[in-house]
Structure 1
């Protein structure tokens, strides 16, 4: 059995950076917590908890004796202001690409009449981005949703950093028909583009595709859907325990990829399992 691993899989720059920042903070300060899970991977969050870094889910849990690390997805503007006033220390581990998207939202808010964001409205990254917008806006998840928008003089358009490039471009083309001027901020990160392209390439060459990553991870879920469109036998798993021998019966080529918040060791365990099945 041949196993093909996507060229870009596992931790991206922003995630690696966030994990390093948390670990450094734990060495420097006492009572270190993250505001929300540092990344969307239950295994990594569990490992940090075992190391003494807890997760707080609301501002009510924050106190002056805590050093609070801002998660990789970023937080809302009002939350950042609250932490500065009420936490002992604030350490910003938000991905630079997410911060770029927040700045883009604030900039478009000053020059446009209406802003459209391609993303998931209930995702913490998107909640953070829209908190920097002071004019009317709408979050969309597909290009088709643009059809229902009204005509305005000037639209601003940006995206959650892990969105699909193709959907972004289709949405932008539709938005051009809805306004006199369209201001586009290209906020999808380069790591997302490379990861999606590499996963699609592998999925087109195999019979079974395994996507490893948190079920609560937006970028991993997107990889899963992109791969499944090409390879019907695509599975989204968090750990090797979700695999079974039956998945690989009479299969000669298997593909592997992983979300940006998936540590390499989890991907390697999956590869080892498949190798064992193939013997």
Structure 2
């Protein structure tokens, strides 16, 4: 039985964002219908959830396999895809089940419009990230992706900069970068395309993390948004522990009778946070 008597609560605002809920719902419906489904790339940046869906028949494929695939249905995940993926699907007679997040699609359209107007586009985001590759594709690969201000400043910058952001970046950092560029005399056309479901979590999480002795942050290691939100928790409550699954919990972190808050990324499934809660309650 429990010796530590921890009082444990899951953050009600944590867990999947609507884009991910929608993609997983679509995948589950199709798996029920046909028993298997191809998905281009990890459906969500969470290994535990991917394994759960793979056990139900989800087959994760990459671009090499997509090239060889014919006459099948393929799920496009919430992160979105570049135009080249849609072109390949037409060539190979693939049916695309498009679960691209509406926030990402809107951003893709805005970037394409800027590109058609021949603006010089800079995207604040993570190199190689699925969403960013979809955004770059709108500009035939010509936009410049940067991860921080010093990387941006290492480029030859035009006087007029059109600034965009990956949807899961921090709003504070985005506006800091904009301000810094303006101070240096650049004309900045800033398009804040950060998803409010993600950026509002920032404030919600600070409030949540401040209420507990310890925080357990549950996220896959591949989640960009997980890294950002973990940092937010850590800044608010230094007693924050990052885990990807229940096995990584360490009873040594806790003292008897402490309060523990559990939270996670927009890619962390609720069932996983519930598993962590069960484990903590029995410590």
TM-score of the aligned structures, taking structure 2 as reference length: 0.88
Structure 1 position 174 matched with structure 2 position 180:
yes
User: Which residue of 52, 56, 62 corresponds with 1:57?
Assistant: 62
Maintained 8 Å contact 2:75/2:98: yes
Q: Which stretch shows the higher mean deviation, 95-104 or 14-23?
A: 95-104
1:216 aligned residue: 222
RMSD over equivalenced CA pairs, Å: 2.2
SS at match of 2:121: strand
SS in 2 for 1:43: helix
Per the alignment, residue 85 of structure 2 pairs with 79
* Structure-2 residue corresponding to 1:66: 72
Which whole-Å deviations, capped at 9, do the CAs of 1:233-276 have from their partners, x for residues lacking one? Answer: 32221211110110112573322211111111111121222222
Taking the aligned partners of 1:233 and 1:141, their CA distance within structure 2 comes to 27
Q: CA deviation at 1:23?
A: 1.9
Task: Give the conservation status (yes or no) of the 8 Å contact 1:114–1:152.
Answer: yes
Match of 2:252 among 246, 255, 266: 246
Residue 3 (structure 1) shift:
3.5
Normalised by the size of structure 1, how large is the TM-score? Answer: 0.90
Determine the C-alpha separation between the residues in 2 that align with 1:112 and 1:232.
46
Taking the aligned partners of 2:185 and 2:31, their CA distance within structure 1 comes to: 50
Q: State the alpha-carbon separation in 2 of the partners of residues 127 and 75 from structure 1.
A: 7
Q: For the structure 1 residues 31 and 87, does the alpha-carbon distance in structure 2 shift closer, same or farther, using more than 3 Å as the test?
A: farther
Give unpaired runs (5+ residues) of structure 2.
1-5
Correspondence 1:140-159 to 2 at 5 A: 140-159=146-165
| Distance of aligned partners of 1:112 and 1:4 in 2 relative to their CA distance in 1, 3 Å threshold | farther
Partner of 1:272: 278
C-alpha deviations, 1:165-189, integer Å up to 9, x for none?
1101101112324565322222111
- The answer on 1:22 being equivalent to 2:27 is yes
**Aligned position for 2:11:** 6
Q: CA deviation at 1:154?
A: 2.0
Greater alpha carbon shift after TM alignment, 57-66 vs 33-42: 57-66
CA contact (8 A) 2:7 2:257 kept: no
Decide whether the 8 Å contact of 2:216 with 2:242 is kept in 1.
yes
State the aligned residue count. Answer: 277
Matches within 5 A, 1:82-101: 82-101=88-107
Deviation at 1:110, TM superposition (A): 2.8
CA apart distance, 1:201 = 1.9
Residue 263, structure 1, aligned to residue 269, structure 2: yes
> Following TM superposition, by how much is the alpha carbon of 1:113 offset from its aligned partner in structure 2, in angstroms?
3.5
Q: Gaps (5+ residues) in structure 1?
A: none
1:85-164 matches, within 5 Å, as 85-111=91-117, 113-134=119-140, 136-164=142-170
Report the Cα distance in structure 1 between the residues aligned to 2:203 and 2:11, rounded to whole angstroms. Answer: 9
- 5 Å matches for 1:26-37? 26-29=31-34, 32-37=37-42
Correspondence for 2:3: none
Q: Tell me how far apart the structure 1 counterparts of residues 185 and 133 of structure 2 sit (CA, whole Å).
A: 25
The answer to whether the Cα contact below 8 Å between 2:9 and 2:277 also exists between their aligned partners in 1 is: no
